[in-house]
Every structure is written in structure tokens, then in C-alpha cells.
Structure 1
Amino acid sequence: MANNTEVKATAKYVRMAPRKVRMVVDQIRNKSVDKALEVLQFSTRAAAEPVAKVLRSAVANAENNNNLRADNLVVKYAYVDEGPTLKRIRPRAKGSASRINKRTSHITVVVAPGKEA
């Protein structure tokens, strides 16, 4: 097994605005998996739950598919891309309407064996 093996997991079409999810993802980048999960567990932001789920999935992929040990994995990359936006309309005064954009996110987490940065 190569030492620089990177394992990734992705959650697509998560019904949260990418801007809000990025605030959580920025907190776990370059941390060990244990520390990252701890940060997510005690985060008050709603986006912490789907991000933790993706991180656990990446760790499970590393253990099952690449025979890596979870205790020495590090979050190498973590990023959020914008998914399709659901466009909704809210009635306003004088018969007009305004648009509400319900944004979605694609969350990607890449873990690799190594030292915490």
C-alpha cells in the first residue's frame, strides 16, 4: 500500500447554503480525524452534522477499501462546492413576488495518513 494514499467521501445535494457549510469545514482542515470529529461534535452550527457524517464516511472508506488505520488519518482537504439552487417565490405587497433561493451544497472530505499540520 502506498504511503500517500488519499481517500475521499462526498455528500451531494445537502440542503444548506455553501457559505454556511464552509464556516464549519474551515475548522477541520489539516486536523487529525479524532480532533476534527471532536470539533464537529461540540460545534453549535447545524452544518456540523452533515460534515461529520461525510468525515466518518471518508474514514470508513479508508479502513475498508485501503486498509488504513483510523488513528493516524488527517483531514488533508475539505471543501464545499455549490449545488443546484431551488428557486421559490414568496408573495409580496401589491401582487408582486420576490424570489427565495434555497441553496444546496456538495461537501467533499479527503483524508490521508500523516501528521497533523
Structure 2
Amino acid sequence: MKQETNIVSASLNGVRCSPRKMRSVVDLIRNKEIQKALDILTYSGKKRISFFLKKLLISLLSNWKQKYEEFSSGEELYIKEIKVNQGKTLKRLRPVPQGRGHRIRKKSSHVLVFLEKRKEM
């Protein structure tokens, strides 16, 4: 017995933003319809992060079109799951008094998104 699922995924790796900041924006669009999520990201306060997430959602819609060939207005498509994980950390030294150096950690993020069609009731 084969169960048919309408799920498409897209990922974004190595975004130069800490996972904590990324999760604050991602929480706004979790379980939302795709068009609402794009609107939220357009008018979001954190412009740099929302720009990358917006490109990711557009890529996700493109993946949906390639896989299923039929695309309606996007009303029934929603973000089923979105995960943010920590990527590589760049380690730099900053000079401080008395010849010492303090370490600066520049974190990056990996984002994974799943898109699904809402089931008709």
C-alpha cells in the first residue's frame, strides 16, 4: 500500500547569520500559507535575514512547480516544517590591551524547509 505525499523541500546552507537571530524570523512564518509567509518576510524588520528566506521560499515554489507541474494561486500550499541548524563558525582574533587577543565567533546557519499541500476537508 503506497501512500502518496505532496511534500517538496529546499535548503539554504551557510547563511552568515547566527542561528538564534534566524530562528526569531523563522518562527514568524512557521505553519503559514506560502503567500502569507512571503508577505511577512517582505515587511519584516530584519531585512537581511528576510531577504535570504524570501529567496528560499521562491525556490521552494519553483521546486513545487517542477515536481507537480500544476500550480494554483498558492492558497493551499503551506510551510509544513522549517528547521534552522548551526553551520560553520569562523573564528577571528580581535586585539585587546596588553598584547592579548580575544576570540570572535562569526556563526552561520543552515535552513531546511518543507512545503506541503493542505488536505481538503
**1:66 Cα deviation from its structure 2 partner:** 2.6
Q: Is the 8 A contact 1:75 1:112 kept in 2?
A: yes
Looking at structure 2, the residues matched to 66 and 93 of structure 1 have their Cα atoms a distance apart, in angstroms, of 61
Letter of the aligned partner of 1:50 in structure 2?
F
Runs of 4+ more than 4 Å apart:
none
Q: Is the 8 A contact 1:40 1:52 kept in 2?
A: yes
Q: Which has the larger radius of gyration?
A: 2
Looking at structure 2, the residues matched to 101 and 77 of structure 1 have their Cα atoms a distance apart, in angstroms, of 28
TM-score computed with the length of structure 1 as normaliser:
0.91
Aligned to 1:80: 84
Q: How many residues align?
A: 114
Aligned to 2:113: 109
Identity level (%): 37
Structure 2: gaps (5+ residues): none
TM-score computed with the length of structure 2 as normaliser:
0.88
Structure 1: gaps (5+ residues): none
CA RMSD after TM alignment: 1.5
Identify, as 1 or 2, the structure richer in strand: 2
Letter of the aligned partner of 2:90 in structure 1?
L
Aligned to 1:56: 58
Q: Does 1:89 align with 2:93?
A: yes
Looking at structure 2, the residues matched to 8 and 108 of structure 1 have their Cα atoms a distance apart, in angstroms, of 7
Looking at structure 2, the residues matched to 68 and 77 of structure 1 have their Cα atoms a distance apart, in angstroms, of 22
